Amino acid sequence: MSEADAAPRGADDLRRQDAEALLRYRGVRSAHTYEASWYNNATFVFPLIAVIIAAIVWLATGSTEAGSAAIFFLVVTAAMLPVVFITWQRQTTAVIVHEDGVTALHAGLEQETIAWDELRSVRRVETMGNVRWYLDGVGERHIVIEGEIAEREQLLDAARSEFERRNG
C-alpha cells in the first residue's frame, strides 16, 4: 500500500459513522476523535454514583434516610438524562483536517466546515480552568476544539500553519 492509499492519521480511532464520513472529504490529512462519550458527563455520573452508594447503605443498614437519599438521587439522575442527551447531540465527535479546510462532525453528520481561506483565527479560551480552542471562520462561524479531542495539538498546529501560510 502506498502512502497516498494509507488511512489518514487518527482514522482508525474514529467511531464507525465518523469514519464513513471521511469519504466525503478531499485530501483528508488527519482525523481527531472525541475521546469521551455521553455517559462521561458529570451531571449524570455524580448523581448515579450517589444512587449506588445510598442504595448499598440502605440495603446494608435498612436506614430510611439512606433509602430516601437513593430515591432522591435516582430522581436527579433521571431528570439529568434529557439534558445530557440534548447536549450530546451538539457535541463534536470528530474533527477532520482535509485539503479544503477543517470539519466538525457529530456521528458522521457535518456540524460545521471552515474553509482554510475563511479561517480568521485560532484562539485559546479558558473558563474556570477548562481550556477550549476556537477555530474562527467568517462571521459567527466557529469550531470548538475540546480538551477531549485526540491529538489536539497536532490539529491546532495544522490549523495554525494553514492560517499563517494564507495570511502571513
Q: 155 and 108 in one domain?
A: yes
User: Domain boundary at 88, 107, 129, which?
Assistant: 88
Residue 40 clears pLDDT 70, i.e. is over it: no
pTM over 0.85: no
Residue 2 clears pLDDT 50, i.e. is over it: no
DSSP state of 44: H
Cα–Cα distance measured from residue 134 to residue 141, given in angstroms and rounded to the nearest whole number: 10
- The total of structural domains in the chain comes to 2
State the pLDDT at residue 83. 81
Residue 26 clears pLDDT 80, i.e. is over it: yes
Whether 2 is covered by a domain: the verdict is: no
User: Domain boundary at 55, 88, 121, which?
Assistant: 88
Q: 98 and 156 in one domain?
A: yes
Residue 1 clears pLDDT 50, i.e. is over it: no
Q: 24 and 66 in one domain?
A: no
Burial letters for 97-118: b for 16+ Cβ neighbours within 10 Å, e otherwise? bbeebbbbbbebeebbbbebee
pLDDT in tens, 89-120: 778 889 999 999 999 999 888 999 999 999 99
Q: 69 and 95 in one domain?
A: no
The enclosing domain of 125 has a CATH number of: 2.30.29
Cell of 65: 434516610
Q: 95 and 84 in one domain?
A: no
Q: 159 and 102 in one domain?
A: yes
Q: 135 and 107 in one domain?
A: yes
- Return the HEC string of 86-110: HHHHCCCCEEEEECCEEEEEECCEE
DSSP, collapsed to helix, strand or coil, labels residue 42 as: helix
State the pLDDT at residue 11. 60
Q: 106 and 84 in one domain?
A: no
Q: 135 and 60 in one domain?
A: no
Q: 23 and 97 in one domain?
A: yes
CB 153 within 8 A of CB 166: no
Whether 4 is covered by a domain: the verdict is: no
Cα–Cα distance measured from residue 14 to residue 62, given in angstroms and rounded to the nearest whole number: 46
Q: Which structural domain, as residue segments, surrounds residue 69?
A: 39-88
State the pLDDT at residue 85. 78
User: Which band of pLDDT confidence, cut at 50, 70 and 90, is reported for residue 12?
Assistant: low
Q: 126 and 43 in one domain?
A: no
Whether 99 is covered by a domain: the verdict is: yes
Distance, C-alpha 79 to centroid of its chain? 23
Cell of 75: 430522581
Residue 86 clears pLDDT 70, i.e. is over it: yes
